[in-house]
Amino acid sequence: MSSIIVNQILSRNINILEAQTPLFINLKNDVFIQEYINLYPQAELSCYNINFEEYCDYQSNKKVQRFFTAHYQTEKKHDLVIIAFPKSKAELNFTLSMIAHATDENTNIIVVGENKSGIKTLNKVTEKTLINCSKYDSARHCILFVAQLSKSIAPFTLDDWYDYYSVDIAGTQIKVAALPGVFSQNGLDKGTKILLENLPNIKPGDMLDFGCGAGVIASFIGKKHPEVKLNLLDVNALALESSIKTLALNNLTGNVFASNSLSDVKNKYDVVISNPPFHQGITTDYSATERFLEGIKGYLHNNADVIIVANSFLKYEPIMQKTIGRTNRLLSQQGFTIYQCKK
């Protein structure tokens, strides 16, 4: 049995999931996926994930056509769509609008999620995007809804979904663009604000923004220190697309790429900076940041700096001290601490 409870409720209802061209959105690859393929070998299964780690997990499954992108596009018409309920309600409507071109009036839309995710509010959240939305099953602290897409959904254009705002700190102003669900979508978060207001000296050379989100930190440094070469990494496709947009708004260029922690990092850097993420969907998960801190030393030039801001209760300092080098607390303020260490 799957260890992922949203997949357990899907497995429990697998007999209603027969389809020719199903699309699974942000479902994790586990025994349910293989169970589905075995029961419906005729199905041309497409799996779209905005999380790079989850996308990579499908790599060995040759029966799955997989996608990792901010904007899913296809010539297919899907007769079934299954969506894992996201942390961000705006992201769900973004996703439903995005797939409208690939569905018709007969396409069943199944949304599944844990009770604690907020899925009980599905009818209210999707009142403009879903019709005939009804609870089909409830089990294992999850709910499975069945619905159809509204015919009144406007044609999807990615640019319509960005939220914009400006950041002005110590005379350096940047413009920010963020898609639904991206960290700090609606405004600058407290940790990043504290970091930028108290930013230590940034040396020239190659800089990596780990967990870049909408590209706020890298863009601020790019405006303030134009001699720095910007590199931005995130696990989330919507974050990467937002960072590209933010860089363009500020007339900056940078290397923006996907990576699961350090999985796809190839180069060495003079500065690594981060307000590291510790959430995956609705769950708290420190593992990606801990792997980053434990492994980053191999991607640093000599005398490189690692600068992070994090909630003060997080135990990152001893990891940095042990695996990178002497670590200093530059500032503790409003529940956040800025750490700096040198290789």
Model pLDDT, residue 267 = 97
Give, to the nearest 10 degrees, the angle between helix 216-224 and helix 190-197: 20
The DSSP symbol for 234 reads E
Number of Cβ within a 10 Å radius of residue 319: 16
How far CA 70 is from CA of 23, 90, 212, in Å, comes to 16, 14, 15
DSSP readout, 95-132?
A: HHHHHGGG--TT-EEEEEEEGGGTGGGHHHHTTTTEEE
- pLDDT at residue 1 in the model: 67
Run means of pLDDT, 10 residues per run, the chain, 343 residues: 88 97 97 97 98 96 96 97 94 98 96 95 96 96 97 95 95 97 90 96 96 97 97 98 98 98 96 81 67 95 96 92 95 96 93
Residue 5: both structure tokens together: 């409870």
Note the pLDDT of residue 15.
96
pLDDT at residue 39, as a whole number: 98
DSSP strand E in 286-335: where?
300-311, 327-333
Structural domains for the chain: 5-157 (3.40.50.150), 162-342 (3.40.50.150)
Instruction: Give the pLDDT confidence score for residue 289 in this predicted structure.
Output: 87
- Residue 161 has a pLDDT of 97
pLDDT for 342 equals 92
